[in-house]
Amino acid sequence: MHAIGIDIGGTKIAGAVVDEFGAIVRSERVPTPAGDPQLLEDAVVAMIESLSDDGPAAAVGVAAAGFIDAAQSTVYYAPNIHWRNEPFREKLEARVGTTVVVDNDANAAGWAEFRFGAGRLVSDMVMLTIGTGVGGGWVLNGKLYRGATTSAAEVGHTIIGRDLEFGNNVPGDPFPQRGSLETLASGRALDRLADYAAIQYRDSFIGKMLATKGSIDGHDVVAGAEAGDEPSLWCLRVLGERLGIGIANAINTFDPLEVVIGGGVSRAGELLLGPARDAAFRHVVPGLGLNTTIRIARHGPRAGVLGAALIAAQEYAEDTGQNLQGAISGEAAP
């Protein structure tokens, strides 16, 4: 018996089969047809069918960046895909014939890390996902905290400032804009920093990448940074400092034992997390940070698919009274 998790991102759809021990036994990914809800639905159905080759799943969990109703059924609004009041659970259930649960992608990632990852030993954990946008998932007292109308943890929209304290140390940073964490520290922000740095330093690794390919993005920056390219390292330092302020705000707000950083940009690892950790501990209340560990998600960008499957398995257990045995069914409801 197994569950399927699907994570619909701004650029790709990831899917996985998760066994009863919380292990990903098979995974797939395709580009997101973000502009067309019907094509998107078809792509998700095709992925579920493909992942069901070896037998039907007990339940399917779908994670997406957006506002989802308390019944885990309807996506009110998803900024990166063209959904408005989309009854996605109902539509999918009619087509795939299994229980479907829809949840916020950062909630799903947070739940996966809490159950089987960086937060498995604590009761209070903050998850930040740095992908196309910036998402958050709060596990408080061992449960996902969703807020009064299931819209908590919109941390990407919190304001951390426009002309930051370290602004003078990053001359020429051209993208302060509105001052939200997402504007300043998302994958899109990294893309903009990459463009800026590549144009400034045409002989650098990313400068040459830009000349060769015509456009560059965060992946090129991470590759450059791993090769020691200074402008690439600069991009990750700037992004890390901004992310660090977001982390500090989360620590000052929640006093968690674990802060976990996931999403595609977390692939940069310590090259991003080092500067982020430095900035975070400079901005927390003195003493408070001593209790908190900041680390990259154990499941990396796959935390979303894993968490979606775990939440679906939980729903299945509640609906049928039948657990998917072992670790996946767990004792704590999300």
Q: Which residues of the shown chain bind its own copies in the complex (CB under 8 A)?
A: 67, 76-77, 122-124, 136, 140-141, 145-155, 157-165, 167, 178-179, 245, 248-249, 252-257, 283-285, 287-288, 291-292
Q: Tokens 């500067």 label which residue?
A: 275
Residue number, 31 or 167, with CB nearest to its own copies: 167
Q: Tokens 């399927």 label which residue?
A: 4
Q: Give the whole-angstrom CA distance, residue 258 versus residue 334.
A: 18
Q: Which of 332, 267, 264 is nearest to 304 (CA)?
A: 264
Question: From the CB of 152, what's the least distance to its own copies, in Å?
Answer: 4
Helix (H) / strand (E) element for 136: namely strand 134-140
Residue number, 222 or 260, with CB nearest to its own copies: 260
Question: From the CB of 62, what's the least distance to its own copies, in Å?
Answer: 21
Question: From the CB of 258, what's the least distance to its own copies, in Å?
Answer: 9
Residue number, 38 or 168, with CB nearest to its own copies: 168
Residue number, 93 or 154, with CB nearest to its own copies: 154
Residue number, 201 or 281, with CB nearest to its own copies: 281
- Residues 6+ away with beta carbon under 8 Å from 48: 4, 6, 15, 57, 60, 92, 96
Question: From the CB of 87, what's the least distance to its own copies, in Å?
Answer: 18
Q: Give the whole-angstrom CA distance, residue 275 versus residue 193.
A: 16
Residue number, 24 or 257, with CB nearest to its own copies: 257
Answer whether 48's CB lies under 8 Å from 4's CB: yes
Answer whether 209's CB lies under 8 Å from 181's CB: no
Question: From the CB of 275, what's the least distance to its own copies, in Å?
Answer: 16
Question: From the CB of 66, what's the least distance to its own copies, in Å?
Answer: 11
- For residue 205, the SS3 value is helix
Distances in Å between the alpha carbon of 309 and those of 73, 205, 293, 295? Answer: 15, 39, 26, 23
Question: From the CB of 16, what's the least distance to its own copies, in Å?
Answer: 29
Answer whether 81's CB lies under 8 Å from 34's CB: yes
Residue number, 148 or 321, with CB nearest to its own copies: 148
